[in-house]
Amino acid sequence: MILNKIKKTTLVLITILSLTILSGCSKEEVVSNEEFKNISTSELQSNLDNDSWVIVDTRINDAYNGWALDGVSRGGHILNAVDFSANWLKVENKDKEETLEKALETKGINKDKNIVLYDSNGTDAKEVANYLHKKGYENLYIYNVNEWAKDESLPMESYDNYEMLVPAEIVKEVVDGNIPDTFKDSKNIKIVEASWGEESEAYSKGHVPTSVHINTDTIEPPPAWMLASDEELTKFALDYGFTKDDTIIVTGPDVMASYRVAVVLRYIGVSDVRVLNGGNDAWVSAGYELETKSNEKTPGTDFGTTIPANPDLIVTIPELKEELKNDDSILVDNRSWDEYIGKISGYSYHDKKGRIPGAVYGYAGTTSVTLEDYRNIDNTMRNANEIKALWDKAGIDTNKELIFMCGSGWRAAEVLAYANVMGYENSKLYSDGWIGWSNDTSNPTETGEPTK
């Protein structure tokens, strides 16, 4: 009898071990859904302002920003919720764990807090819960935001201009010819892909279906790579058949290039310009396929107005000199700290180092081609509260006119777009940046850390 019990116990242990090995998971990784408590709407509401609780939106960032996705009746996020998207867990890069750990710390997602993880599809919250559970988090709760969104009396918040950043799901509807409500007033929707080079290698490898390639050299011709003249931009608009009444969605493998092209399209006067949030990676992450066939542009004959129709969006050097005399304007320098203090130029083709006197360091990234201070790990827009915290730390008064600059306009164009999404519409781009300014040796410059 005792021997039989031992054999049965051994068999059970072997079976459990075998299932664990076959599933590719360790014992700690095997977490049943029952281990995560569900929380009611009333209990969540009662702890909305409780510092010992943190509410986390685990959906894609477009839903957090304001888009009503997955059948949720209201877009945006629960008041005071932070974001930690399950999509971030799918990203692969060498600094992934360090980046995610930093995000948890920044958002106050600590092990000593009660953590409510919510989604709308029944999977995102559990994926994040499993991730946190493996890291030793215990007080985890699951919630379906559909319940909250259905009650109009419960507070949700969205970014003022969240529509400027479009989720892959909405772009897919456009590609398929199913025009979503947010585009119901659009007369002509076009999708373009922005990247460097003629029919660039990136475009040939794959792009969002129907997208027409735009070589960034067209809007900023070499060798100076400064903004093209009004005449050149007029030719660019006609070559692509753009009109002022178009709705244009800009995509691409490098989101920075997309924002650069998008701000130029706004400058020439296209009335509705949007960017695929997260670029081509967001498209692939959503489960959609890229196409490789080339899509030809269709030239036009009339843009519909004189270019530029929105000249105030971009500041020239003479205009900047006047703005620097104005106490109601702030020049925000979106370069790396080493570029800002004049330790490096940041560019292989430009050797002058330093900054424009009066420019305030506005954060960016570690190099001239990165912008990690403003992006999530999946290259989507970072939480607006966190961006605002950076500006507050730098002493940037957002009640004033914000003029963003970088080396040549790419990084600053992206930051300008985020500022507009957040509702700071009194913002501009100094497009020529440090390179344009320092190329004229008569312009004053300075180096070193600024004095208080």
Q: Which residues are part of the catalytic machinery?
A: 406
The C-alpha torsion from 161 through 163 and 168 to 169, rounded to 10°, is 130
Which run of H or E residues covers position 279? helix 279-285
Give, for 114, the enclosing helix (H) or strand (E).
Answer: strand 114-119
3-state SS record for 321-334 = HHHCCCCCEEEEEC
How far is residue 421's CA from residue 413's CA, in Å, rounded to a whole number? 12
Q: Cα(223)–Cα(299) distance, rounded to whole angstroms?
A: 26
Q: Quote the CA–CA distance of 195 and 22 in Å, as a whole number.
A: 44
Indicate the angle between helix axes 384-394 and 410-422, nearest 10 degrees. Answer: 110
Task: Name beta bridge partners: 401.
Answer: 329
410: alpha, beta or left? (left if phi > 0; alpha if psi -120 to 50): alpha
How far is it, in rounded angstroms, from Cα 69 to Cα 57?
13
The amino acid at residue 172 is K
- Amino acid at the residue 428: K
Per DSSP bridges, beta strands 329-333 and 212-215 are: unpaired
**How many whole angstroms separate alpha carbon 342 and alpha carbon 438?**
12
Question: Quick one: angle between helices 230-239 and 255-268, nearest 10?
Answer: 100
Question: What stretches of 60-197 show up as alpha helix (H) in DSSP?
Answer: 61-65, 96-106, 124-134, 145-150, 168-175
